[in-house]
Amino acid sequence: MSHPADFIRRHIGLNQENELAMLEFLDVDSIDDLIDRTVPKSIRDLSEDTSLPPAL
């Protein structure tokens, strides 16, 4: 079984060139724009009380 930390060592991630290509392909201006278009405002809006009841 693989150790979860192995992924971190193998993960390359995006460089700036890759990120710009992705944004252009998706026709968005920025990562923030992508998130705004992807995640509903009702989820992103933290102005309402989001506290949870005490744990059992």
Q: What is the pLDDT of residues 16-46, one digit of tens each?
A: 999 999 999 999 999 999 999 999 988 888 7
Residue 25: give the domain boundaries: 11-39
Residue 35 lies in a domain: yes
Residue 54 lies in a domain: no
Residue 6 lies in a domain: no
Which helix or strand (DSSP H or E) is residue 35 part of?
Answer: helix 31-38
Q: Which two tokens stand for residue 41?
A: 């405002």
pTM above 0.85, yes or no: no
Q: What are phi and psi of 39, to 5 degrees?
A: -95, 120
For 33, other C-beta atoms within 10 Å of its C-beta total: 13
Alpha-carbon distances of 39 from 6, 11, 33, 49, rounded to whole Å: 29, 25, 10, 19
Residue 46 lies in a domain: no
Residue 33 lies in a domain: yes
Question: What is the pLDDT confidence band of residue 2, given thresholds at 50, 70 and 90?
Answer: low
Q: What is the pLDDT of residue 41?
A: 86
Q: What is the pLDDT of residue 13?
A: 80
Question: What is the pLDDT confidence band of residue 1, given thresholds at 50, 70 and 90?
Answer: low
Total structural domains within the chain: 1
